A and B are shown apart, each in its own frame.
Chain A
Amino acid sequence: MSEQIVQTLVDAISVGGLYALTALGIGLIFGVMRLINFAHAQLIMAAGYAVLVFSTQSVVLAIAGALAAAVVLALLVERAAFRPLRSADPAMLLIASFAVSFFLEKAMIVVVGSRPKGVDFLPGLARQIEVAGVRLQMLQLVTIAVCLVLLAATTWFLRSTRLGLEMRAAAENFRMAEVLGVRADRVIATAFAISALLAGAVACLFVAQTGLVQPRMGLQLVIIAFVGTVIGGLGSLPGSALGGFLVGAVTILLQALLPPDLRLFREAFLFVAVAAVLVVRPQGLIPAPGMKERI
């Protein structure tokens, strides 16, 4: 019995980790630009299809291709769609983000069709290993490890490098950072690049787990991770990661704990929770510094 509990917990943590990384990617962009990047889902999609293309050749190539595809797409989208809108009001940014995401997804459907394709990626990780008497899936443990490493790396980057410092300053007060000489273009491009690397990593793990790629992949991840960002605190990086993690983990736990007829409603629960958080504590669990309404 207790083995099942441990397995559920590990499952929850590994899914939570994926959502934490996704939420962090979304939170990074929101932090510097006040933009909710719906197209993050398509970054995951692009990385996923790169894995499809290279998975037959070598694992390293597939991962590198996934990361590269996500970064290239992210920088393209930033340059073409978001940079011209940098001074537009947040409502327009939101709509534009929605439109970009929709466009990329539909364009992909035009090119590859909407049906899922199977991918045999890292099949070796599907096996189970025994840890302290409990049988766990190797992939879940790898997922947790990768998430921890990437979270640590991102944190290190933000806290210890010059560019990271500039990003944190820009996230708190963009105008003042510019007055001091921080170049907006560099900071924003960096945010998009890191966000894309996170998306690429998530895509690799996701493809390994599900064995499928389709144009709609990433949508579910981003919607739920986005919920996490809101709950954790829009614009706050630790908040995003924490919120994403909680939401992902709770999804799994709800699945395990809810009576069968209510299980299907778990997403509804989540979104009611989002609305509740927005009403009761709009700044989220870990509020971001410098977030205030435009006066």
Chain B
Amino acid sequence: MDREAGAGERGAALVDVRGLAVRYGAISAVHGVDLQVHAGEAVAIIGPNGAGKTSLLSAMAGIVRPAAGSIEIGGRPAASIPLPEMVRQGVALVPEGRNIFGSLTVMENLRLGATVRRDDGVAAEIERVVETFPVLGERRNQPAGQLSGGEQQMLAIARAMLSRPRLLMLDEPSLGLAPVIVDRVYELIRTIRAQGVAILLVEQNAERAFAVAERACIMSHGAFTLTGTPPEIRQSGAFDAAYFGVAMEAVP
């Protein structure tokens, strides 16, 4: 597995992270992380609770300022992009816990997803979303807070997609959902992938992530401990150690 090979073929990275460190006061959540995501790629960051995955994603999405290192979005330094402009750069985030607006209706949530778009295709696209998820159509004028967990997750993802992102970042999309629902969520992620949108997926559940991602980074205690394609990682036998944080070098 060679991360660098093929980078030139795919063009500039959508997101380019180098030497990233994220700190909360004296606590280091992320240190020394390098990561690139290119157009159309699906990358997973897998690790247990507290590994630093959400902090990494927050820094990449522009929510948290890094303590060290650099992040470039489409070639531009992320520090120069204010948070509301991130989505205009083609980066959409579905944060942990769905974060839908419970007091707004389902339709209003969807329309917010398209906030940055000025074209006329929005209404038609929303209708297509609603066709794909009939339950959203049934509840279109009800407060989104009344949806079930799985339905809210679908809504959150559909909402994020309405901004026509080039990169979709998902933080623990399976968290707190029943396996049957998670199946549907991952079906949706695969569909999005098939449309050519790059995916950056943060997960605790490695198997789920391996099914979608072409490249995975195992994260523990704030750093990547193992990277590679899912087959490579499985064959290396080093997964458990990497996941649970026994210190080791990255598999070359």
A interface residues, Cβ below 8 angstroms from B: 162, 165-166, 168-169, 172-173, 175-184, 289-290
Size class of B's contact patch? Answer: 20 to 34
Give the secondary structure class of B's interface. Answer: helix
How far is it, in angstroms, between the C-alpha of A173 and the C-alpha of B99 when the chains are bound?
Answer: 8
- B157-190 CB mask vs A (1 if < 8 Å, else 0) is 0011001000000000000000000000000000
- Contact for B145 among A177, A183, A289, CB less than 8 A: A289
How far is it, in angstroms, between the C-alpha of A183 and the C-alpha of B88 when the chains are bound?
Answer: 11
Interface flag for B25 (CB, 8 Å): no
How far is it, in angstroms, between the C-alpha of A97 and the C-alpha of B163 when the chains are bound?
Answer: 37
**Shortest CB–CB separation between residue A186 and chain B, in angstroms?**
9
**Shortest CB–CB separation between residue A140 and chain B, in angstroms?**
35
* Chain B residues with CB below 8 A from A179, complex form: 61, 63, 83, 86-87, 93, 95, 99
Which residue in chain B gives the minimum CB-CB distance to A166? Answer: B115
Q: Are A180 and B103 in contact (CB under 8 A)?
A: no
**Shortest CB–CB separation between residue A156 and chain B, in angstroms?**
15
* Chain B residues with CB below 8 A from A169, complex form: 101, 104, 108, 112
Q: Are B103 and A175 in contact (CB under 8 A)?
A: no
B interface residues, Cβ below 8 angstroms from A: 61, 63, 83-88, 93, 95, 99, 101-104, 108, 111-113, 115-116, 145, 159-160, 163
- Contact for B111 among A165, A172, A175, A289, CB less than 8 A: A165
The 8 A-B residue pairs whose C-beta atoms are closest, nearest first, are: A289-B103, A181-B87, A181-B116, A176-B99, A178-B83, A178-B84, A181-B115, A183-B84
How far is it, in angstroms, between the C-alpha of A178 and the C-alpha of B111 when the chains are bound?
Answer: 14
Q: Are A182 and B102 in contact (CB under 8 A)?
A: no
Q: Are A172 and B101 in contact (CB under 8 A)?
A: yes
26 A-B residue pairs with Cβ-Cβ distance under 8 Å, sorted by A, are A162-B111, A165-B104, A165-B111, A166-B115, A168-B101, A168-B103, A169-B101, A172-B104, A176-B95, A177-B101, A178-B83, A179-B61, A179-B83, A179-B86, A179-B99, A180-B112, A180-B113, A180-B115, A180-B159, A181-B87, A181-B88, A181-B116, A181-B163, A182-B84, A182-B112, A290-B101
* Chain B residues with CB below 8 A from A290, complex form: 101-103
How far is it, in angstroms, between the C-alpha of A143 and the C-alpha of B86 when the chains are bound?
Answer: 46
**Shortest CB–CB separation between residue A27 and chain B, in angstroms?**
15
How far is it, in angstroms, between the C-alpha of A285 and the C-alpha of B144 when the chains are bound?
Answer: 22
* Chain B residues with CB below 8 A from A180, complex form: 87, 112-113, 115-116, 159-160, 163
Which residue in chain B gives the minimum CB-CB distance to A177? Answer: B112
* Chain B residues with CB below 8 A from A176, complex form: 95, 99, 101
Q: Are B108 and A181 in contact (CB under 8 A)?
A: no
Q: Are A289 and B102 in contact (CB under 8 A)?
A: yes
How far is it, in angstroms, between the C-alpha of A111 and the C-alpha of B93 when the chains are bound?
Answer: 51
Q: Are A168 and B163 in contact (CB under 8 A)?
A: no
* Chain B residues with CB below 8 A from A172, complex form: 101-104
**Shortest CB–CB separation between residue A172 and chain B, in angstroms?**
5
Q: Are A166 and B112 in contact (CB under 8 A)?
A: yes
- Most chain-B CB neighbours within 10 Å: which of A168, A176, A182, A289? A176
* Chain B residues with CB below 8 A from A173, complex form: 99, 101
- Contact for A181 among B61, B63, B84, B103, CB less than 8 A: B84
How far is it, in angstroms, between the C-alpha of A179 and the C-alpha of B101 when the chains are bound?
Answer: 13
How far is it, in angstroms, between the C-alpha of A42 and the C-alpha of B5 when the chains are bound?
Answer: 64
